[in-house]
Structure 1
């Protein structure tokens, strides 16, 4: 169900006895193409999606922190401010408590607060729910403290939450896409420069929709597998004597003797090229070419980078048979598939996937429709 600002304000008022001082919406993001390139200085092409973390917040006159959540009901946080510094030393942190402690510690907040979180964003499905939550908390608390940060600072703070406090070696892509998202645009992420440039990606104008298929397969190996890929690509760039694989070319692949490092490098080089090719194809309205690039990207992620799963591979294959561009998105090892098809294909896509998943006795997928790219992080009230 969509969250409405008045619903959030009313719920907050019922919980805490008065309305919030600040309300923010922090969307999730889906990466159209360009995965596992950002930590090697490469390119990616995400969009902000209309599934979000909503936060309502109010400073307290005392030093008590109270956080309620509609999507993490078992992780309600009631915390004395005096314990934040001690807890912040116990990294890596986890759960909602970890995010709260990280943000209070990073911002140096010296007072308590009442917070209500509501979300339409699926957790652990490759849509960056963690970065969305980090940015919602960072934006709201900065706003309440009358020390609002610019976009670049918020992006770096959100990355610190994950890297320093939560122990996740994530790159710049997720927070940058969420902060810089624009309606009907994708964001061309240059990870080396840590910059994002909006580019037209108006598939709605062509009668198309983006579909995010949450396969409901747990991403149990995502953390360890992600860290392993970071290590492997760094090893490849070190052997090649370059700062990162952003600077590698096809001829460099033959300089590597380890077949695993060859494959990882081949993916990063090809994926960077596919990002630019996708931007150019979308600009000229060549959506058939975009579909082909999505399929090529999935094959590379599955065969060379080995972050796919049988469920993801089959889902992409079934969609490809329908002429729908599709690929695994995010870290992989489970999670979601992103697909680009005609608007009128929505019912057929959902019916096909439900039938196929039932035949395989898999948990039924959830299909989220993105009619157009959404705006990024913004203040609502």
Structure 2
């Protein structure tokens, strides 16, 4: 029995009906393109949220989290609405609400939640919780719901219940992840293609550097970037920046809006080129310059990096990485670095030393390994 199942059994005096999981994700490339109907290329991580669940014996649902000591949070899954449940439990209650709104059968539930996805690191800890709860609700109800539909339910919870204006990449990666594969997603129609990413076969490793910088879409900056993109699309007369090309950018009069659009247009092109290279059997080292270019674009055109991530990227390159970039929504979070296996110690040491020189908290470095998407454990 898993640890969360044992915790559930000790609290309730009986085993859960089942245990379900959903992973966090790292985005290899394709930042802020998802809400522009563009292309993204994430993969699911080994780190995941795990939910032990059973039908509730009473008239209300209850959820506890190992990471949030204290009393259970209670709500009615049958009637809960946005704004009713605050804090961390909003991701759980919101998924129940979105599941119900989608027309699927939903009873009151007892949930025990645990997660080893780092919170605030830009690795989609919230999407992991939403998707884990989603697959648990489907399992308890006996509903056969496909991964894309469950991802849409989880995204609606995040957008409309929690109020975070994110795209759908995080939930789709969590649901569709596969060992040794990247999830190439066309966000316009949610079409998924799995792309090979067997780094060990090429003597490579993808390092994830948790910069430990506070990761928050501070001051509404995430929403501001989204509004800039909408303004750019309106200036060009297109439905979304997915429909624009480099030749269109000079038609945008506002210099800031033009730079925002340039990032999205060039980032989409970089995603497609990475997919072309990897699908064609190229040495993955060939994508290094595209990772570098993506970071430069996020730093200069989209202005979403912070000193912690810029220093980590530069140090990783100095240490011998073939390419490095910030990953995630920005303003903190994680950096990824593609490196030869024998260069991993040097890359790690270079980043750690750069932080020590500045008196910053030591970063956490681990290998990012494409892993299975959401499912049932027990």
| TM-score when normalising by structure 1 | 0.93
Q: 2:305 maps to which residue?
A: 308
Question: 1:333 and 1:7 mapped to 2: Cα distance?
Answer: 34
Q: Does 2:213 correspond to 1:217?
A: yes
Q: 1:104 maps to which residue?
A: 96
Question: 1:223 and 1:72 mapped to 2: Cα distance?
Answer: 25
- Are residues 223 and 286 of structure 1, via their aligned partners in 2, closer, same or farther at CA, if it must alter by over 3 Å? farther
Task: Identify which range, 162-171 or 93-102, moves more after superposition.
Answer: 93-102
Question: 2:252 and 2:114 mapped to 1: Cα distance?
Answer: 48
1:170-249 aligned within 5 A: 170-222=166-218, 224-249=220-245
Q: 1:154 maps to which residue?
A: 150
Q: 1:22 maps to which residue?
A: 18
Question: 1:180 and 1:222 mapped to 2: Cα distance?
Answer: 29
Q: 1:356 maps to which residue?
A: 354
Q: 1:168 maps to which residue?
A: 164
Task: Identify which range, 262-271 or 282-291, moves more after superposition.
Answer: 282-291
Question: 1:376 and 1:111 mapped to 2: Cα distance?
Answer: 25
Task: Identify which range, 156-165 or 64-73, moves more after superposition.
Answer: 64-73
Question: 2:218 and 2:170 mapped to 1: Cα distance?
Answer: 16
Structure 2 counterpart SS, 1:97: helix
1:32-51 aligned within 5 A: 32-51=28-47
Q: Contact 1:68–1:116 (CA<8 Å) still a contact in 2?
A: yes
Question: 1:111 and 1:287 mapped to 2: Cα distance?
Answer: 47
Q: Does 2:242 correspond to 1:263?
A: no
Q: Does 2:261 correspond to 1:298?
A: no
> What is the CA distance between 1:369 and its match in structure 2?
1.3
- Are residues 78 and 267 of structure 1, via their aligned partners in 2, closer, same or farther at CA, if it must alter by over 3 Å? closer
Question: 2:267 and 2:218 mapped to 1: Cα distance?
Answer: 20
Question: 2:230 and 2:28 mapped to 1: Cα distance?
Answer: 24
Task: Identify which range, 5-14 or 291-300, moves more after superposition.
Answer: 5-14
Unaligned runs of 5+ in 1: none
- Are residues 78 and 248 of structure 1, via their aligned partners in 2, closer, same or farther at CA, if it must alter by over 3 Å? closer
Question: 2:312 and 2:364 mapped to 1: Cα distance?
Answer: 12
Question: 1:209 and 1:153 mapped to 2: Cα distance?
Answer: 32
Alignment equivalent of 2:72, drawn from 70, 74, 77: 77
Question: 2:370 and 2:153 mapped to 1: Cα distance?
Answer: 24
| TM-score when normalising by structure 2 | 0.93
Aligned length: 372
Task: Identify which range, 202-211 or 96-105, moves more after superposition.
Answer: 96-105
> What is the CA distance between 1:322 and its match in structure 2?
2.3
Q: Contact 1:63–1:81 (CA<8 Å) still a contact in 2?
A: yes
Question: 2:219 and 2:186 mapped to 1: Cα distance?
Answer: 23
Q: Deviations over 1:311-356 (max 9, x none)?
A: 1111101111123111011100001111111223333333222222
> What is the CA distance between 1:12 and its match in structure 2?
2.1
Unaligned runs of 5+ in 2: none
Structure 1 counterpart SS, 2:63: strand
Question: 2:171 and 2:193 mapped to 1: Cα distance?
Answer: 14
- Are residues 72 and 208 of structure 1, via their aligned partners in 2, closer, same or farther at CA, if it must alter by over 3 Å? farther
Task: Identify which range, 315-324 or 33-42, moves more after superposition.
Answer: 315-324
Q: Contact 1:34–1:44 (CA<8 Å) still a contact in 2?
A: yes
Alignment equivalent of 1:340, drawn from 327, 338, 341: 338
Structure 1 counterpart SS, 2:121: coil
Q: Contact 2:55–2:109 (CA<8 Å) still a contact in 1?
A: yes
- Are residues 176 and 222 of structure 1, via their aligned partners in 2, closer, same or farther at CA, if it must alter by over 3 Å? farther
Q: Contact 1:222–1:331 (CA<8 Å) still a contact in 2?
A: no
> What is the CA distance between 1:204 and its match in structure 2?
2.0
RMSD: 1.8
- Are residues 154 and 80 of structure 1, via their aligned partners in 2, closer, same or farther at CA, if it must alter by over 3 Å? closer
> What is the CA distance between 1:276 and its match in structure 2?
1.3
